[in-house]
Amino acid sequence: MMSNKLVLKIFIGIVVLVLLSLITIRIVVEPLILRKIQSAVNENNKDFIVKIGKVHLSVFSSELELKNITISTKPEQNGIQDINGEVEFIRLNGIHFRKAIFKIDIEISKVTVFNSSIKGSIPFAEKAMPPKISSLNIQIDSLFLDKTNLKVKNTLTAQAFSAKDGVLKIYHLQVQKLDTLSAFMVKQFDFNVQEFQSVSADSMYTN
């Protein structure tokens, strides 16, 4: 039978180990993840700069949260387009860390994008080439965009649209390696918006 002193030592050792793990995650791992994600997003993006204010990682619950995200137009794009965006946080639940770390696949149970706002003007190309989304296979069981606000104008015409407090729910999102953005990726979705306005290209029609 273990003595009380031995039990106490084991308990203290476990507590110290947990605390060290948490400190390591906060000081080393989270800043590294922030830099990796920010670099990956911006590396092949010629139009916009994405900045992440803070990253919080919970290994025990397989959760990653990105906070205070901003999107802005690169200086060399000024005069062509002007976009400014803010996202309060993006939360990813049920991440398959092993596959993500070894760059096999990305599997996530739930993604929540909360309180996002995008405003500005961009040229609406008639035959825009859809961008490639990822070099890995991506599977997301549910994607939830809550309190989404958009106000975008076409720099080439009078066309514009705005949406206030939109809520978008996408289920069973699957993206194959090197896929381009397509509606066929979405198997099921729900979309609600409190207020929606649009202006036609010749400014004759407003909804």
pLDDT, residue 59, reads: 77
pLDDT, averaged across the chain? 80
In the predicted model, what is the mean pLDDT of residues 196-202?
Answer: 79
CA of residue 96 relative to chain centroid, distance: 16
pTM of the entire predicted model:
0.78
pLDDT in tens, 173-182: 877 765 555 5
pLDDT in tens, 142-172: 999 998 999 998 888 888 889 899 998 888 8
Count other Cβ atoms within 10 Å, centred on residue 166: 18
pLDDT in tens, 23-54: 777 788 899 889 988 888 888 778 889 999 99
Q: For residue 191, give both structure tokens.
A: 């979309």
Q: What are phi and psi of 17, to 5 degrees?
A: -60, -45
